[in-house]
Structure 1
Amino acid sequence: RELARQYPRAQAPLYQPFGEPELRSVLADRYTHSAQHYWQANQVFIGADLRSVLELALRALGLEGQVALVESPCNWAVLRQLQAAGMTIIEVPLGEDGRFDLQHFHQLLCDQPVRLAVLSSAANVPQGGLMPAADKQQICQWLAECNVWLFENDAYGELCFHPAAPRYRDFADPDRLLVFSTFDKLIGAEAPFG
């Protein structure tokens, strides 16, 4: 009680609304790959779980009820959140080699009013294949031309053992990119934060 009287607490809450600044700073450094597009701690948001992070992002960007393009197979939790947002989901299958049929992908972008693409960052799960950098660069170019938001799913990014694996964020328009991930793959189910 004496210490509380001598050192009264500030009126600020005991928690940080976007996550601890130190952790956000480390995550920003981890996702920075370019000197031109350096991530800052204020560009990182830590939510209670993946569901709440996706729900907030879809609502904030006005993507609810729009058309989303997802790779198939896609993370079931992501699919459920897109369905909960009332989105029309178009699945684009990955081939046995872990690549898209680029002509089919481009045709879908031209024919459908796609507003969002949800793609895995490095390794395509469950195949575990790596898509060539040229394919990712071409897809990012088409997404930028069509003003499509890219949500890069990096939930399994740490499970890619190839250190220089190309990621979509290396080629994407940084103003229309959102990278999301979770801590549960690294720390365990006791850390569901997204």
Structure 2
Amino acid sequence: MPCALVEKAVFELLKICQLLPYKENLADDLLRSLQLVLKLDARVADAYCEHIIKEIGWRTITSLLSITAHHPEASEAGFEALTFIMADGAHLSPVNYVLCVDASQLFAESRVGQADILDLMSGSVFCLAQWFREAKEGGGEEAVTKVSQDIGEMWLRLVQGLGKVCLDQREDVRNHALSSLQRGLMGVDGVRLPQSS
């Protein structure tokens, strides 16, 4: 398990980055500090993902993970952390869904874990179906309409991401992306997507 002191330091650093993004005189120091975060064990993100509930926190985490996608030394750890978040939809929520899909697309386009991340992307469509069922069972028509619209936007982002990977020059990645796209299209069965006007 990661050291509690390191975990606290990382998340305090991320808070500072949220508060001071436009201070030019601090930008270099913050970026150097964030480089240290990239070298941390993936278990740090694993240990805290349940406690991150706001979009700004997820945006920071997924941005850091996205940076690792094309960094040879950090990509494996970033991939493991993203896999932990997305596996079986255990840590996916409407707050972090699109952010995780966008980060996943970068890993699918990189050299690390393309097939696995494409499977996670297509498998995440079942979270959308589950969230729709939960909203349908627990809310009124207005709430269901709002959730339906949100889920439609999330699903569209997923399909767009998979569609972009379908254009990859590597044949094996392209073919796997096509079958993942097919699963993503079929998995939305039972979800009422908003009608386009």
Considering the TM-score relative to the shorter chain, is it more than 0.5? no
Structure whose residues are more often strand by fraction: 1
How high is the TM-score relative to the length of structure 2?
A: 0.31
How high is the TM-score relative to the length of structure 1?
A: 0.31
Structure whose residues are more often helix by fraction: 2
Q: Which of 1 and 2 has greater Rg?
A: 1
